Amino acid sequence: MTTGQLSVENLLDKMSADLRELLQQRQIDNPLLIGIRTGGVWLAERLHQQLEIAEPLGILDISFYRDDFTQVGLNPKVQPSQLQSTTEDRHIVLVDDVIMSGRTIRAALNELFDYGRPASVTLVTLLDLERRELPIQADVTGVTLSLNPDQCVKLAGPEPLELIIRQRS
């Protein structure tokens, strides 16, 4: 599948409908939507609008929670996380752009639990690359994508949101 066949807008519409249905099934009516910086925030902003969630959107920057922090160093664009609401006993919808190894999600969960113990965490991701190193699975996925080992994918944005698949350098 090429990026020309993947419309982020169409995937967002699908994710929004799937998430709305899942929240209804779980009887969750006031979730706290949180995006993982950067691509996850762009997607979370769109889902936040489509689902008409009144609560402010939360933003996580997991840079200090990454398990490769000592190997790759600090991202030069680290920004503070922004959660206007407590996570204690809240139903969280955590949004990221790509789930691959599961390590980014593990880092995000570690940070979330530093803010309090959520009642539940629902994971939403645009792309699932199925290359897990940790047993983490998304509840809502835009599409599952198989790439060659020499390929990588990136969400460019915020306007327009576009998927770019390229060869690793």
Residue 71 domain-assigned (yes or no): no
| Domains held by the chain: number | 1
* Residue range(s) defining the domain that contains residue 16: 3-65+80-167
pTM recorded for the entire structure: 0.90
Distance, in Å, from the CA atom of 48 to the CA atom of 117, rounded to the nearest integer, reads 22
The CATH number of whichever domain residue 38 belongs to comes to 3.40.50.2020
Helix axes 39-50, 8-25, angle to 10 degrees: 60
Q: What is the pLDDT along the chain (169 residues), one digit of tens a residue?
A: 444 568 999 999 999 999 999 999 999 998 999 999 989 999 999 999 999 998 999 999 998 786 655 555 555 566 778 887 788 999 999 999 999 999 999 999 999 999 999 999 999 999 999 888 999 999 999 999 988 888 888 898 889 999 988 888 7
